[in-house]
Amino acid sequence: MIIATDIGNSFITIGYFTSTGLSVQRIPTLPLKSPEEYRQRLHAFIKENNIEKGEGASIISSVVSSHTKTLTEAIEGLPGQTTGSTLVVDHRLSGIRFRIPHPEELGTDRIANAIAAYALVQRPVAVIDFGTATTITVIDGYGDYLGGAIMPGIRLMNEALGMKTSKLREVEVVQPETALGRDTAGCILSGVFIGTAGAVERIVAEIENETGASYAVILTGGNCLLVKAFMQRPHLVRPDLTLEGLKILYEKNRHQ
């Protein structure tokens, strides 16, 4: 079993890769818990889902550095895991070339997305990750990392409107029924959903104009299933793309 963990700003996503497939557990990132508390939750999930036991391995991607050591300790305390064996992703572990000046600043979830996306389509590709932030990660036809874009995620937009304005409020995040909002909630939902879909498609189009390449598009992240209906451009949907990339990274680096 390979345990792939993606520590994000909103959720810790844990993928259990076994001979029968992938099982996914999500835990809110905040508040930070003790290693024992996390271990108990992981162990309970494994038991409830009848996940096969035996010798295991683990890899972690984290954009929340305060959590990395704690989750590593929790996972390595599970049956079948070995202390000190967890791979923690950084740009040096990726095995891809970066066409950017400071790859050490790149979120490791985006590295995993890049690895998985290119493995999936074997052509120039743009990964749109609809998470706490909406990120675009662009890979060329050789599998090299070119760059991308970052904008606030749909829930962050919604929260900001509720917190930073006197007349607007935070609304329930559900798909808008129409582009033309008829009340405050409808207007906000139209803006954050259709606005986000339109923005990422425009950014990808501008990148294509700049690079002279045509990119396949893959949607991922916690909100991708909500936003996909508003995307006009052809796309693939892979909600667990980051975990898939972590598995590939583990397999590439396990003997190093």
Band of residue 253 on the pLDDT scale cut at 50, 70, 90: confident
109 is catalytic: yes
d(CA 12, CA 82) in angstroms, rounded, equals 21
Residues 97-110+119-240, CATH architecture:
2-Layer Sandwich (3.30)
CATH match for 2-88 among 1.20.1440.230, 3.50.50.60, 3.30.70.260, 3.30.420.40: 3.30.420.40
Domain borders along the chain are: 2-88, 97-110+119-240
pLDDT (0 to 100) of residue 54: 67
8-12, 92-96, 163-167, 231-235: which range is least confident on average?
A: 92-96
Query: Residue 256: is its pLDDT beyond 60?
Result: no
pLDDT (0 to 100) of residue 58: 95
What is the mean pLDDT of the segment spanning 159-178? Answer: 92
The residues, ordered by sequence, that sit 6+ positions from 17 with a Cβ below 8 Å of its Cβ are: 1, 2, 3, 4, 243, 247
pLDDT (0 to 100) of residue 133: 96
pLDDT (0 to 100) of residue 142: 96
Q: One fold for both 2-88 and 97-110+119-240?
A: yes
Measured on CA atoms in the order 14, 67, 60, 85, is the torsion positive or negative?
Answer: negative
d(CA 125, CA 114) in angstroms, rounded, equals 8
Q: Which pTM value belongs to this model?
A: 0.94
Q: Which among 6, 109, 129, 240 is annotated as catalytic?
A: 109
